[in-house]
């Protein structure tokens, strides 16, 4: 196996991840019912996000945290949702890649999941943002 080296590799991870996440019993509802995704647009945006995260390049513009608050208001996100997201994210990377960038993608995924879990729990306590 090789490492994640470029945008095409990130695209492979993100595409495979979403194919699993959308069918997942725990988190799939967020992608299929709460906000049905246009996968073509969404995957491109998420690939750009991870390109910035891993390589410092790319054209991602946005605020992932802000974009998730409406989802949380529609159906409160709990720790189990973030745990499942991270499990699927990590498993997807492990099947496809290994190396420094793959490890970094998993570490950053863990940090993102933890931060989002905390922020969404706080938002739920306050009645949303």
3-54: pLDDT as tens digits: 999 999 999 999 999 999 999 999 999 989 988 778 888 999 999 999 999 9
Percent of the chain with pLDDT over 90: 68
The pLDDT > 70 percentage for the chain reads 98
32: nearest Cα among 40, 21, 43: 21
Do 118 and 46 contact (CB within 8 A), yes or no?
no
pLDDT of residue 67 exceeding 90, the answer is no
Going by pLDDT thresholds of 50, 70 and 90, the confidence category of residue 56 is very high
Please tell me the predicted confidence (pLDDT) of residue 109. Answer: 98
DSSP 78-100: -HHHHHHHHHHHHHHHHHH--SH
Say whether pLDDT at 121 is over 70: yes
pLDDT at 129 over 60: no
> What's the token pair of residue 84?
């499942």
Average pLDDT of the chain is 92
Place of tokens 């695209």: 11
Other C-beta atoms closer than 10 Å to the C-beta of 105 total 24
């Amino acid at each position: 196996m090789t490492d994640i080296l470029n945008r095409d590799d990130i695209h492979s991870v993100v595409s495979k991840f979403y194919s699993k996440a959308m069918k997942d019993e725990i988190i799939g509802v967020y992608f299929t019912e709460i906000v049905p995704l246009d996968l073509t647009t969404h995957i491109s945006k998420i690939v750009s996000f991870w390109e910035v995260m891993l390589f410092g390049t790319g054209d991602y513009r946005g605020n992932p945290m802000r974009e998730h608050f409406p989802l949380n208001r529609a159906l409160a996100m709990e720790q189990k949702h973030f745990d499942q997201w991270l499990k699927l994210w990590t498993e997807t990377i492990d099947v496809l890649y290994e190396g420094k960038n793959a490890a970094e993608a998993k570490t950053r995924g863990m940090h993102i999941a933890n931060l989002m879990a905390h922020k969404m729990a706080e938002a739920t306590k306050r009645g949303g943002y």
